[in-house]
Amino acid sequence: MSESQRPDSLSPSRASDFMQCPLLYRFRVIDRLPEKPSEAATRGTLVHAVLERLFDDPATDRTAVRARSMVPAQWDRLLQERPELGELFAEDAQGERLARWLSEAERLVERWFSLEDPTRLEPAERELFVETELDSGLRLRGVIDRVDVAPTGEVRLVDYKTGKAPRPEYSEGALFQMKFYALVIWRLKRVLPRRLQLVYLGSGEVLTYDPAPGDLERMERKLLALWEAIGRATRTGDWRPRPTKLCGWCDHQSFCPEFGGTPPVYPLSVSPAASAEDGQGRMGPV
C-alpha cells in the first residue's frame, strides 16, 4: 500500500470525476489505472500550448497566421515530451489522419482570433499552477490557463475549451471549474476575481460570469461536502459506479461492475468504524 495513493487534494477535474462517478475517481486517483491518450484531449493540449506560447511574441506579431504556423512545431515538442502520444497515429501510414487532426487544431487556433484579440492582451499569468489550503485542511489545486489583471487591479480568469459551449441549462456545470479557481485565488491572494471567462473555440462562443462572494462561499461548502464524501469512500472502500452516457468515454469499462468487470484489489486499508466517524465532522480522507 502506498500513501501516495490516498487522495490529499482536490482539483476541478478530479472533483468532476467524483461527481460523475465515484468509481471513476477511484480508478484514476487511487488505483491510478493507465489511460490511453485520445485525439480530442491531445488536440486540446496542443491548442493550449499554442495559445500560451503565442504571448512570448511581441504583441504586433500575435497574428492568426503566426499562431497557425506554430501548430506543427508545438506538436513536435509535445511528441518529444510525451513520446507515447505517437501511438495516436501509429497506424496512419500515409499521414492523412494526422494531417486532418493538425488542420483541425489550426482551425481552432484561428477561431480564437474571432473571440479575443491577443495583440491587446498582456496576461499577468499563463498556465498558472495554484494551490491553497482551506481552514478545514482541504487542499485545492489546479492550473489556470490565463490570468489578466486590469490597470485598476481587477482580475479576470480565463480558460480555453476546444469543445463547444454548453446549452444555457448546463452552464452551471461549465462554470464549476472557474468558480473553483476563483475560490482558490480569493483564499490565496485575498482578491475576488472580477470575471470568469470560458472561451469555447469549438463553437466560437465566450461564456462569462462575475462571481459574488456568496457564490464562492457556496462553492467552498460544496467542495467540503464533496471532500467528506471522498473521505468516506476512501476509508470504507465503497466506491459506487454511477453509469451515465459518459461511460462511453471511460477507459475502465473492463474493471467496472456495470460492464461485467471486477475492480482491482483495493490498495488501501479499510476502516470498519469509518461510517461512525463520518458523523463527527472530521474532514478529508485521512
Which among 18-26, 108-116, 153-161, 225-233 is the span making contact with ligand SF4, rule CB under 6 A? 18-26
Tell me the closest approach of the beta carbon of residue 268 to ligand SF4, in angstroms: 18
Cα(88)–Cα(74) distance, integer angstroms: 16
Are 46 and 39 in contact by the 8 Å Cβ rule? The answer is no
Tell me the closest approach of the beta carbon of residue 75 to ligand SF4, in angstroms: 29
Q: Is 144 exposed, middle or buried (0-12, 13-18, 19+ CB in 10 A)?
A: buried
Tell me the closest approach of the beta carbon of residue 174 to ligand SF4, in angstroms: 19
Tell me the closest approach of the beta carbon of residue 31 to ligand SF4, in angstroms: 11
Tell me the closest approach of the beta carbon of residue 246 to ligand SF4, in angstroms: 6
Which is closer to ligand SF4, CB of 187 or CB of 232?
232
Q: How many residues bind ligand SF4, per CB under 6 A?
A: 14
Binding mask 188-217 for ligand SF4 (x = CB under 6 A): ------------------------------
Which is closer to ligand SF4, CB of 207 or CB of 256?
256
Return the closest-CA partner of residue 8 out of 180, 135, 138, 185: 138
Return the closest-CA partner of residue 44 out of 143, 160, 178: 160
Q: Which residues pair with 140 in a beta bridge?
A: 10, 132
Please name the residue ranges forming H helices in 170-269. 171-189, 213-236
Tell me the closest approach of the beta carbon of residue 240 to ligand SF4, in angstroms: 9
Which is closer to ligand SF4, CB of 69 or CB of 253?
253
Residues in CB range of 278: below 8 A, 6 or more apart: 228, 231, 232, 235
Tell me the closest approach of the beta carbon of residue 257 to ligand SF4, in angstroms: 8
Positions 44 through 103 that interact with ligand SF4 (CB under 6 A): none
Give the three-class secondary structure for 169: helix
Which among 16-24, 30-38, 78-86, 178-186 is the span making contact with ligand SF4, rule CB under 6 A? 16-24
User: Cell for 129?
Assistant: 499552477
Are 196 and 208 in contact by the 8 Å Cβ rule? The answer is yes
User: Cell for 54?
Assistant: 503565442
Cα(65)–Cα(46) distance, integer angstroms: 16
User: Cell for 162?
Assistant: 476546444
Binding mask 245-264 for ligand SF4 (x = CB under 6 A): -xx--x-xx--x-xx-----
Binding interface with ligand SF4 (CB under 6 A): 21, 23-24, 241-243, 246-247, 250, 252-253, 256, 258-259
